[in-house]
Chain A
Amino acid sequence: MTIRLGGIIFGLVLVGILMIWSFVPDTLKYSTPVKQPYYAFHEDKLKPAGGFSFDGLGGTWDNQQLQRGYQVYKEVCKSCHSLKFVAFRNLAELGYSEEEVRAEAASWDVPGLNEYGEANLRPAEPTDYFPSPYPNEIAARAANNNALPPDLSLITKARPDGSNYVYSLMQGYVEPTAEDLAKAKELGGGTEWETPTGLYFNEHFYNANIAMPPQLYPDLITYADGTEATPEQMAQDIAAFLTWTAEPSLVARKQTGWFVIGFLLFGTALGFLSYKQIWADKKAKKKAA
């Protein structure tokens, strides 16, 4: 009884304080965060027509596409972005033969030591990981107007809806529409939206001002398989490749999933039947209405 009475009194006092807070001015000091003007530009992400081959419950890799995406990475992205969790040996999963992987690795230079123990560059082995374009973060920032190009190994998992995010971001360098600018002005308390010098407007970047310049132009690269290199195509290919780098086990995972769930459901069905059998005479008989 004491606890109940104490509880009631304590609870009423607590709720009373909360009420006073809400109704007596100045008792409650609200800090209301203002909505930033860049909220005006958050557009829905673009999705490639027909989606990605790895989408859905039975998704598979499109090795041709992954190889094209690797080519985009090698010819465009790698000049600024590292891929530190991926090794050259992993390229075998894209359908390259062992010799091709070896040759591909050898076309990259990685930091090594010469016979005197001095730092040098040597051709990569399949066991090496992709080298970073910069020796360290300071060098990377110095070369990029103080922005740090993120490592791309996990980028599609590090952003919501990552595959579509990369696909959208690569194509997000557009002119802001008049309505969006008006909305941004309203959110910003009347200040005109302005993209700072050295940054680029990208409607899919979280604050719409990205440090990375637009990258994809028509026929920027010549695909080894003859596919036409439109920006849309390249964006799709690099998004697919970076989905693979973020999760090489994605397809194996889904395929294993079917087997595991099938096995569990089979076991569940057997378990349910034995449950019915065991309980048969313990349940109430349904009364005839």
Chain B
Amino acid sequence: MSFPWANQYEPKSDFTKWIDQKLPLPRLIYDAVGGGYPVPRNLNYMWNFGFLAGLFLMIQIITGVVLAMHYASDATVAFGSVEHIMRNVNYGWMLRYAHANGASFFFIVIYAHIFRGLYYSSYKAPREMIWLLGVVIFLLMMATAFMGYVLPWGQMSFWGAKVITGLFGAIPFIGEPLQIWLVGGYAPNGATLSRFFSLHFLLPFVILGVVILHIWALHIPGSSNPTGVEVKSESDTLPFYPYFVAKDGWFLGLVLAIYAAFVFFAPNVLGHPDNYIEANPLSTPAHIVPEWYFLPFYAILRAFTGDLVIPFTSVVIAPAKLLGVIGMFGSILVWFFLPWLDKSPVRSGSYRPLFNKFFWVLVLTMAVLTFCGGAPAEQPYILISQIATAYYFLHFLVILPIVSQIEVPKPLPFSITEAVLGKGADETVAKPAVTDTPSSDGDLPGGALQPAE
């Protein structure tokens, strides 16, 4: 599955020929992330984050597997076993800080990756499946990160677990028994810790599996690009190796250097001091906050402060907690509908003047929500998060569909080659493989050359 002009894998030695016949794994890799994968030549640096996300997943798995060799998932010793890693295991402090900050960087990279997708509408046809799988990966990551944060069994671990598992108790009728079944008791306890450890070990490999599906789905239409115009001819693309390996490679070094700055010079700034106090079910911390990467969603959860009642009566339709839970999960589930909510034929936000403005308002809203999620549950933060929550849903459910209906996009370049090298470059560089002109309503997916399966 690639474009007709993609390089073909040619085994050179007898050994590689033999392997290629028996198990064409080198061929698979060559076609997936090697010279056999043609990529639009105009990708900007926002396209580096997918590669980086894969790398941070590997960092997390490798450091995590080693940490698991020294960790004990027993509530009486878990906290001490983490200190044992920090003090007695050779370079244990480095492994643990690399893992804890690795989670933060994984989320930084993923958020950049998601917002790149939102800006350039990477979720649009023919790439809906990539987007849907991506949202699944994000949900799995959130579950994994949440359970990982419980493992050190500090105060924030315990109370964070109590708050989050308590959310299931909000579900009508089955909520309470469901919560007790999930937690293994009325409050987080030793049973919770060992099942979270087990799942925290398992889920990264599930993520890895979905990542493979995500990349598989990507290789069917090929990568999108900053113009949103589909690939038309060979001059629009460059092979992944060496061009994008080199580009991803040096950027990777830069990101790893920033990551190392956190690991070695500020390993605890993204964490919470209360998590260095051993879990105590009898002492509630003054203010329970999740990890920073959950803050926007935590703010949405807390924005619902009142029970929904029929106005002027006291008949409760839905209690505040249930509304908060629906709001929080809904804020991510709404992403599943994005490909069908935004029907503008133009993909790239750079050619969509109206969408562009609303996109940056959404980014600002997310920043405000992050701030409010970390702030104490006091006014004015509650009111601000309520307004931001309302805007968040308004953006996806109302603004996006209407904007895609009424917006007049800017003219698109004829091709990627033209966008990079200027007008007329197509004729001089290479003859376009397809000579059809873009239809009047922009670059419909069907109008572009579809790669041969």
A residues apposed to B, CB below 8 Å: 1, 3-5, 7-8, 10-12, 14-15, 17-22, 24, 26-33, 35, 57, 85, 90, 150, 153-154, 157-160, 162, 206, 246-249, 253-254, 256-258, 260-261, 264-265, 267-268, 271-272, 274-275, 278-279, 282-284, 287
Contacts and interface: CB of A to CB of B under 8 A. Distances in A.
A217 B119 CA distance: 62
A12 B253 CA distance: 46
Contacts of B97: 253
Nearest to B421: A284
Given A30-B305, A271-B246, A4 B420 contact: no
21 contacts: A4-B341, A7-B400, A8-B402, A12-B398, A17-B308, A18-B386, A24-B312, A26-B309, A27-B311, A32-B382, A57-B265, A154-B83, A158-B274, A158-B277, A254-B264, A260-B263, A261-B261, A268-B250, A268-B257, A275-B250, A279-B243
Nearest to A36: B286
A159 B285 CA distance: 12
Given A30-B305, A32-B378, A261-B264, A15 B422 contact: no
Contacts of B274: 158
Given A31-B305, A272-B250, A279-B243, A11 B312 contact: no
Contact of A162 (B273, B308, B309, B312): B273
B27 interface: no
Interface string B384-416: 001001100110111011100000000000000
Contacts of B400: 7
B87 interface: yes
B264 A271 contact: no
A267 B420 CA distance: 29
Given A7-B398, A8-B402, A256-B94, A154 B276 contact: yes
Contacts of A8: 397-398, 401-402
Contacts of A10: 397
Contacts of A35: 378
Given A8-B397, A157-B268, A264 B257 contact: yes
A90 B84 CA distance: 13
Given A32-B378, A158-B273, A275 B390 contact: no
Interface size grouping (class) on chain B: 35 or more
A248 B377 contact: no
B83 A160 contact: no
Contacts of A287: 422
Given A157-B276, A248-B87, A11 B393 contact: yes
B341 A7 contact: yes
Nearest to B402: A8
Contacts of A265: 253, 257
B256 interface: yes
B354 interface: no
B420 A275 contact: no
Contact of B393 (A1, A15, A284): A15
Contacts of A253: 93-94, 97, 264, 267
B260 interface: yes
B306 interface: yes
Given A257-B261, A278-B242, A15 B93 contact: no
Given A32-B379, A260-B264, 15 more contacts: A8-B397, A11-B397, A12-B398, A14-B390, A29-B305, A29-B306, A32-B378, A154-B83, A158-B273, A268-B250, A271-B250, A271-B253, A275-B250, A279-B246, A284-B420
A160 B307 CA distance: 35
B238 A260 contact: no
Contact of A14 (B86, B263, B397): B397
A12 B263 CA distance: 45
Nearest to B250: A271
B276 A158 contact: yes
B80 interface: yes
B401 A20 contact: no
Contacts of A5: 401
Interface in B71-98: 80, 83, 86-87, 93-94, 97
The 9 A-B residue pairs with the shortest CB-CB distance, nearest first, are A257-B264, A11-B397, A268-B253, A271-B250, A28-B306, A158-B276, A3-B340, A4-B401, A11-B398
Contacts of B307: 29
A256 B80 CA distance: 25
A244 B28 CA distance: 51
Contacts of A254: 264-265
Nearest to A17: B308
A42 B410 CA distance: 55
A282 B41 contact: yes
Interface string B245-266: 0110110111011001101110
A202 to B, nearest CB: 16
A274 B260 contact: no
B308 to A, nearest CB: 7
B265 A257 contact: yes
A1 B404 CA distance: 12
Given A7-B396, A12-B398, A153-B83, A28 B246 contact: no
B343 interface: yes
Given A17-B308, A268-B254, A278-B242, A249 B93 contact: yes
Residue of A3, A271, A272, A274 with most partner-chain B CB within 10 A: A271
A235 to B, nearest CB: 20
B87 A28 contact: no
Nearest to B286: A206
Contacts of A24: 311-312
A90 B87 CA distance: 9
Contact of B398 (A15, A17, A257, A272): A15
A85 B83 contact: yes
Interface string B416-445: 000011100000000000000000000000
B390 A15 contact: yes
A64 B232 CA distance: 71
A265 B261 CA distance: 11
A35 B379 CA distance: 10
A271 B249 contact: yes
A256 B401 CA distance: 52
B358 interface: no
Contact of A274 (B246, B261, B398, B422): B246
